[in-house]
């Protein structure tokens, strides 16, 4: 139930966010939380309903996989969007990556 609610709020957030960078961030945070809550619910349901505890380890592995892969994939998507020079929205006031590139902290992403 809570996982579905989190995913629903993410869908609303995707419609309301002003640019691609905010949308990716919103979708990643909510999908990570929503999927984790859904998997926890599945794990608890299997123990309660069928009396089997062997799903708990599998659910734990899935949750760890989601925690590790969702942020990495969203980071890659945002860096690709930045490399393609997709503009920030007009209401976005801070561009930390641009500041880091100007200060030579990181290299500018290259569109290949």
pLDDT per residue as tens digits for the range 75-95 = 899 888 888 988 988 888 888
- Contacting residues for 46 by C-beta, under 8 A, at least 6 apart: 52, 53, 55, 56
- The predicted pLDDT at position 10 comes to 86
* C-alpha separations of 110 from 27, 37, 79 in Å: 24, 37, 9
Helices 20-45 and 55-83 cross at an angle (nearest 10°) of: 180
The CA distance from 36 to 3, in Å, is 7
Q: What would the pLDDT profile of 59-70 be if each residue is shown by its tens digit?
A: 888 899 999 999
Domain boundaries, the chain: 2-102
Q: What would the pLDDT profile of 37-46 be if each residue is shown by its tens digit?
A: 988 888 777 7
Instruction: Indicate if the pLDDT at residue 51 is higher than 70.
Output: no
């Amino acid at each position: 139930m809570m996982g579905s609610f989190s995913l629903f709020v993410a869908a609303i957030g995707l419609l309301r966010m002003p640019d691609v960078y905010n949308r990716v961030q919103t979708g990643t945070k909510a999908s990570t939380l929503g999927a984790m809550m859904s998997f926890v619910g599945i794990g608890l349901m299997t123990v309660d309903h069928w009396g089997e505890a062997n799903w708990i380890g599998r659910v734990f592995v899935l949750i760890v996989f989601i925690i590790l892969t969702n942020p990495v994939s969203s980071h890659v998507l945002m860096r690709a969007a930045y490399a393609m020079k997709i503009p920030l929205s007009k209401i976005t006031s801070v561009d930390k990556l641009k500041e880091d590139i100007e200060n030579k902290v990181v290299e500018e992403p290259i569109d290949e």
